[in-house]
């Protein structure tokens, strides 16, 4: 599929365009957080609290209000975009690479080695992803990179299953058998014939998985075992403010809306990419 026709096909989908706009806004916020945020994310301001010590609602000075420590919520959300997006990209990119490696190796090798790799994948699938992530995060010292590693360790299994299925179907094709008969080694077969066929799958799952990763990071941070304060992430902003849901609902609503919008945007773009890159979907709809 030519790049021009692919781009036109993507832009013809209103939902994909909406998702791209939201993703672009999050990326801009993450890259230029120091320029866009009106205050430093950790500044505790005396005028950021009422006389009774309560957080302030949205106003001209604090567009999204302040939190329980008098910090500007908009600034923390902008810097939190950097944390959530970085974890989403790093964790999901690592998960896709691990899944591709395990799935391709299992599918190409077959036999006992392939079966052992897939039984290990089944074993990982048997554990609830959130419970496994909670256990791993609790055992390790929570930090940005540890959270990314934990999420990657529980999110690779779906990619491995798909990569295994596609690799098994490819290794039985006539052109692969012909390459083997001509003496081609595993590196040539994998590099020239199998991995290029898996690129669309990696792109689609790489996009769709970011939404899952952002939600899982928010869940871990909400439970207090994700990114640790004072470093802001959307999940720990909700965690810090949950007891003020009734008296200061903006503290939960705005970060929750950011999480929801970002996850939805990546899902919309991922669905569009799947329809465009999957040959069985072209021409439908």
Alpha helices in the chain (DSSP H): 3-11, 14-31, 33-36, 73-109, 111-126, 129-139, 144-155, 157-171, 174-181, 186-189, 195-222, 234-241, 250-277
- Specify the pLDDT at position 283: 44
**C-alpha distances in angstroms, 81 versus 2, 28, 61, 164, 206?**
33, 9, 21, 34, 18
The β-bridge partners of 49 are 55
Q: Which of 108-122, 252-266, 267-281 has the lowest mean pLDDT?
A: 267-281
Cβ proximity of 243 and 258 under 8 Å:
no
In eight-state DSSP terms, residue 150 is H
- Specify the pLDDT at position 229: 75
Percentage of the chain with pLDDT > 90?
21
- CA pair distance 265, 268, nearest whole angstrom: 5
- Specify the pLDDT at position 225: 76
Domain ranges of the chain: 12-30+69-277
Structure-token match 């069985």, residue found = 280
Instruction: Answer whether CATH 2.170.150.70 is correct for domain 12-30+69-277.
Output: no
Q: How confident is the model at residue 284 (pLDDT cuts 50, 70, 90)?
A: very low
Closest CA to 206 of 80, 88, 104, 103: 88
- Specify the pLDDT at position 18: 92
Q: Is the pLDDT of residue 278 over 70?
A: no
More confident residue, 245 or 277: 245
- CA pair distance 146, 169, nearest whole angstrom: 36
The mean pLDDT value for 141-162 works out to: 84
Q: Is the pLDDT of residue 136 over 50?
A: yes
Q: How confident is the model at residue 116 (pLDDT cuts 50, 70, 90)?
A: very high
What is the separation of C-alpha 130 from the centre of its chain, rounded to a whole number of angstroms?
14
More confident residue, 34 or 229: 34
Residue 62 has phi, psi (to 5 degrees) of -120, 100
Most confident of 12-16, 33-37, 147-151, 225-229: 33-37
More confident residue, 284 or 119: 119
Give the chain's end-to-end CA distance (angstroms, integer): 18
CA 257, 134, 84: angle at the middle one, nearest 5? 35
Most confident of 169-183, 200-214, 245-259: 245-259
Most confident of 60-69, 176-185, 205-214, 268-277: 60-69
A 10 A CB-CB count for 82 gives: 21
- Specify the pLDDT at position 29: 92
- CA pair distance 260, 42, nearest whole angstrom: 24
- CA pair distance 150, 213, nearest whole angstrom: 10
């Amino acid at each position: 599929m030519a790049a021009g026709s692919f781009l036109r096909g993507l832009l013809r989908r209103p939902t994909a365009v909406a998702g791209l706009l939201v993703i672009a806004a999050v990326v801009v916020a993450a890259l230029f957080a120091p320029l866009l945020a009106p205050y430093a994310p950790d500044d505790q301001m005396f005028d950021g609290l009422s006389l009774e010590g309560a957080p302030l609602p949205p106003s001209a000075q604090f567009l999204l209000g302040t939190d329980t420590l008098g910090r500007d919520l908009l600034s923390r959300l902008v810097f939190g975009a950097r944390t959530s997006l970085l974890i989403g990209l790093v964790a999901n990119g690592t998960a896709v690479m691990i899944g591709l490696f395990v799935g391709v190796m299992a599918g190409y090798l077959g036999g006992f080695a392939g079966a052992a790799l897939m039984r290990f994948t089944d074993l990982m699938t048997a554990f609830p992803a959130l419970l496994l992530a909670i256990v791993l995060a609790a055992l390790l010292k929570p930090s940005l990179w540890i959270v990314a590693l934990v999420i990657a360790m529980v999110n690779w299994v779906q990619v491995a299953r798909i990569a295994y299925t596609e690799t098994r179907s490819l290794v039985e094709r006539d052109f692969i058998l012909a390459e083997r008969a001509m003496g081609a080694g595993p590196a040539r077969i994998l590099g020239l014939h199998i991995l290029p066929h898996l690129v669309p799958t990696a792109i689609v799952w790489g996009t769709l998985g970011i939404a899952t990763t952002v939600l899982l990071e928010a869940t871990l941070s909400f439970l207090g075992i994700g990114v640790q304060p004072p470093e802001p992430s959307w999940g720990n902003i909700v965690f810090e403010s949950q007891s003020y849901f009734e008296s200061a609902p903006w503290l939960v609503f705005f970060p929750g809306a950011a999480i929801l919008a970002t996850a939805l945007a990546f899902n919309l773009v991922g669905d569009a990419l799947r329809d465009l890159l999957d040959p069985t979907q072209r021409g439908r709809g």
